[in-house]
Amino acid sequence: MAKLYLKRGLVIVAIGIAILVLGSKIFDYSYNNVGSVMVDKHYLIDHKQMAGGQSLNSTITWDQLAEHSVILVNSLPSSAPIKLQVEEPGHQTFDKESSDGYLYHIIGKSPQNQGSYNLTVSNSGSDSAYVTVIFGEDPYLSGKCTASDEVSCYAIPAAIGIVIAGMLALIVGASIAILDFRKKR
């Protein structure tokens, strides 16, 4: 009987991990399509060719930010390994790499972070690639999504809810596993 109790906590942890992965996949998939539903977008870099190892720079000022903004980076071919680095006004940096030709970074407008946001997009591969960087208001987080299929407008809040449910399942499962382990002893 003790073995059964010990396993139930681990089963709940496994379910929590699966739910977390599902939520993060939905979140990433939704941002793969965000460019088509952005209300106000600007091309910071428009289909610029980058040699392997080359970097391109751009700057966004605090005044250009919406309450919730997003930076999208696309490369062609999509197999080109690209990297996005954003240095925020407080000198915090954000780095993200991709090997599928797509990256995004969400920026929330905060009075504490007034100043310039410096972007560096790098082609970390050896072959040349074409890069496009789009900046605009995040339609999901701002509540201004006007997609023709309403489902895509609710994908991000749903993904956030799924991720939260996964985290709760992890916490509950780990707690049950610990309690059951202590009872067994």
Judge contact between 103 and 96, C-beta under 8 A. Answer: yes
Pairing of strands 55-61, 82-87: unpaired
Structural domain boundaries of the chain? 1-37+143-185, 39-137
User: How open is the CA angle 39-40-44, to the nearest 5 degrees?
Assistant: 135
Give the integer Cα–Cα distance in Å for 145 and 69.
Answer: 13
Mean pLDDT by 10 residues, the chain (185 residues): 65 91 82 71 90 91 87 87 90 86 84 87 91 86 67 76 92 88 75
pLDDT for residue 131: 92
Rounded to a whole number of angstroms, the distance between the first and last alpha carbons of the chain is 13
Give the integer Cα–Cα distance in Å for 120 and 105.
Answer: 12
Topology given in CATH for the domain delimited by 39-137 = Jelly Rolls (2.60.120)
Number of H helices, E strands in the chain: 4, 8
pLDDT for residue 27: 77
Which DSSP symbol is given to 114? -
pTM (predicted TM-score)? 0.71
pLDDT for residue 149: 57
